[in-house]
C-alpha cells in the first residue's frame, strides 16, 4: 500500500475536526466584523480621534493639518503627535532669530518659525512657510534649526511650491527654524538703498512671432486706432498714452498680440504692487533704481527699488516702443529722460481693486526689494 496516499479512520476523523475548527474560526471572525460595523458607521465624519488614528495602519493614515498660525502650517499624520495636544506655531523675525545666535553668513534671512512642543514627532511632518516675496517655483532654500546655542543647517531644504509664495520642508523635531534665501540673492547697496537683489540667471524677454496689429509713428492713425481698440480708450486718452513713447528715433510703436508667453519686468515702489507698464529683461544685471528711473522715465512717486519678473501669457495685447522723454510732463522731473524699450499691457490687470488677471499675467519672482521691506509684515 502507498502509505503517502492512505487514509486511516483515525486520520479522517482528525481531518474532519481540523476543518470544523477552521470553519468555527471563520464564523467568529465574521461575527466580530459585523459587530464592529455599526460602531464604525456611527463615528462622525472628519478628522479621526487620536486613538482611532493610532489604531489605523500607518500606510493608510491620512495627513492632516496639525497646527497653523502666522502664515505657517504643520501637516502630518495625527499619530505623529503620540496622543498629545498639537504644537504651537509662531512667526520669528530676523531680529529675534539673530538674538538667539548669529545667523549664517552668505545667505539672506527670509522667514522664521517657532514650533513649540515638548515631544519628538513619531513620524516626519511638513512645515510650510508663506513667503514674504514670490520666488521661482522649485527653488530650494536652506533651512536652519537653533540647537546647542547655534544655528545649524538641516538635512532637508525648503522647496518653493507651484504656488510660488510658499515653501515647505520636512522636520522631525519641534524647535525654532530659520528659512533663508539661497546664494542667488545678495544684500547690496545701490543709490543709498540697502537692497536684496537676485543675481542668478533670469529669463530673457523674447517676443516670438507676435501678431502685429499696427506699426508706425505715435501720430499714425492706424496706431492710434489700434491703441483705442486694445485699451478701450477714446481717441484723446489713446493719444495721451502714446505720448509716453518716443516717436523721434524711427523706432516704431507697435500694437501686438503675443503668440507665446514672455517674461518681462516691472520697476515699482511703495504700495503700487500691480501695474501695466513693463520693460524687457535681457538676462543681465538689473539697472540700479536711479538708472531705472531715468531710462524708464518713472514718475516722481516711483523710486524703482522693487523689481518683479512677470510671465505675460499668450493672446495678451501689448503696446511696444521706446520710452519718451517725460522731463517736461506733470508728475515727472529732470531724471525722466527715457530711451529704453517699454511695454504697456492694458489688460494684464483689473481695477478696482488692482489685481493681476491670472489668465493674462502672473508673477514669476521678485528680483529686488528693500532689505527692510520684510520688517513691517504683520503675519
| Average pLDDT for 73-92 | 97
Question: Residues 177, 310: one domain?
Answer: no
81 has a pLDDT exceeding 50? yes
Question: Residues 232, 355: one domain?
Answer: yes
| Average pLDDT for 65-89 | 97
Question: Residues 179, 216: one domain?
Answer: no
Question: Residues 253, 292: one domain?
Answer: yes
3-state secondary structure of 127: strand
Question: Residues 215, 174: one domain?
Answer: no
Confidence of residue 284 (pLDDT cuts 50, 70, 90): confident
CATH code at position 99: 2.60.220.30
Confidence of residue 283 (pLDDT cuts 50, 70, 90): confident
Bridge partners of 130, per DSSP, are: 166
Question: Residues 242, 155: one domain?
Answer: no
| Average pLDDT for 138-149 | 98
Task: Tell me whether residue 4 is in a domain.
Answer: no
Question: Residues 173, 58: one domain?
Answer: yes
- Percentage of the chain beyond pLDDT 70 is 84
Number of domains in the chain: 2
Best CA proximity match to 220, nearest among 185, 197, 244, 247? 247
Segments forming the whole domain that contains residue 221: 211-374
Burial class (CB in 10 A: 0-12, 13-18, 19+), 311: middle
Question: Residues 233, 358: one domain?
Answer: yes
Res 317: pLDDT: 98
Task: Tell me whether residue 205 is in a domain.
Answer: no
Question: Residues 216, 154: one domain?
Answer: no
Window from 57-66, 127-136, 168-177, 292-301 with minimum mean pLDDT: 57-66
Confidence of residue 48 (pLDDT cuts 50, 70, 90): very low
Question: Residues 172, 221: one domain?
Answer: no
| Average pLDDT for 122-137 | 98
Average pLDDT, rounded, for the chain: 88
Amino acid at each position: 500500500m502507498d502509505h503517502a496516499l492512505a487514509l486511516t479512520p483515525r486520520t479522517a476523523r482528525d481531518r474532519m475536526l481540523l476543518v470544523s475548527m477552521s470553519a468555527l474560526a471563520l464564523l467568529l471572525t465574521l461575527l466580530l466584523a459585523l459587530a464592529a460595523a455599526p460602531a464604525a458607521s456611527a463615528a462622525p465624519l472628519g478628522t479621526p480621534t487620536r486613538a482611532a488614528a493610532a489604531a489605523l495602519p500607518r500606510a493608510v493614515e491620512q495627513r492632516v493639518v496639525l497646527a497653523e498660525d502666522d502664515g505657517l502650517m504643520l501637516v502630518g499624520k495625527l499619530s505623529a503627535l503620540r496622543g498629545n495636544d498639537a504644537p504651537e506655531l509662531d512667526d520669528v523675525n530676523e531680529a529675534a532669530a539673530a538674538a538667539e545666535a548669529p545667523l549664517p553668513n552668505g545667505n539672506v534671512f527670509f522667514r522664521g518659525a517657532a514650533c513649540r512642543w515638548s515631544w519628538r514627532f513619531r513620524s516626519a511632518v511638513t512645515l510650510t512657510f508663506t513667503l514674504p516675496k514670490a520666488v521661482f517655483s522649485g527653488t530650494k532654500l536652506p533651512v536652519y534649526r537653533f540647537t546647542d546655542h547655534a544655528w545649524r543647517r538641516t538635512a532637508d531644504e525648503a522647496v518653493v511650491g507651484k504656488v510660488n509664495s510658499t515653501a515647505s520642508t520636512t522636520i522631525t523635531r519641534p524647535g525654532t527654524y530659520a528659512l533663508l534665501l539661497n546664494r542667488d540673492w545678495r544684500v547690496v547697496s545701490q543709490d543709498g538703498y540697502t537692497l536684496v537683489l537676485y543675481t542668478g540667471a533670469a529669463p530673457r524677454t523674447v517676443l516670438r512671432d507676435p501678431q502685429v496689429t499696427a506699426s508706425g509713428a505715435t501720430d499714425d492713425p492706424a496706431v492710434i486706432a489700434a491703441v483705442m481698440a486694445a485699451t478701450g480708450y477714446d481717441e484723446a486718452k489713446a493719444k495721451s498714452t502714446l505720448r509716453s513713447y518716443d516717436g523721434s528715433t524711427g523706432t516704431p510703436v507697435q500694437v501686438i498680440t503675443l503668440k507665446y508667453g514672455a517674461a518681462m519686468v516691472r520697476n515699482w515702489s511703495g504700495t503700487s504692487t500691480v501695474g501695466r507698464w513693463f520693460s524687457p529683461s535681457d538676462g543681465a544685471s538689473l539697472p540700479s533704481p536711479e538708472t531705472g528711473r531715468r531710462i524708464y522715465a518713472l514718475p516722481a512717486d516711483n523710486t524703482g527699488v522693487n523689481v518683479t519678473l512677470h510671465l505675460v501669457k499668450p493672446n495678451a495685447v501689448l503696446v511696444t516702443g521706446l520710452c519718451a522723454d517725460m522731463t517736461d510732463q506733470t508728475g515727472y522731473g529732470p531724471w525722466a529722460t527715457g530711451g529704453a524699450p517699454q511695454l504697456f499691457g492694458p489688460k494684464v490687470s483689473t481695477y478696482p481693486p488692482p489685481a493681476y488677471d491670472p489668465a493674462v499675467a502672473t508673477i514669476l519672482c521678485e528680483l529686488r526689494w528693500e532689505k527692510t521691506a520684510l520688517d513691517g509684515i504683520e503675519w
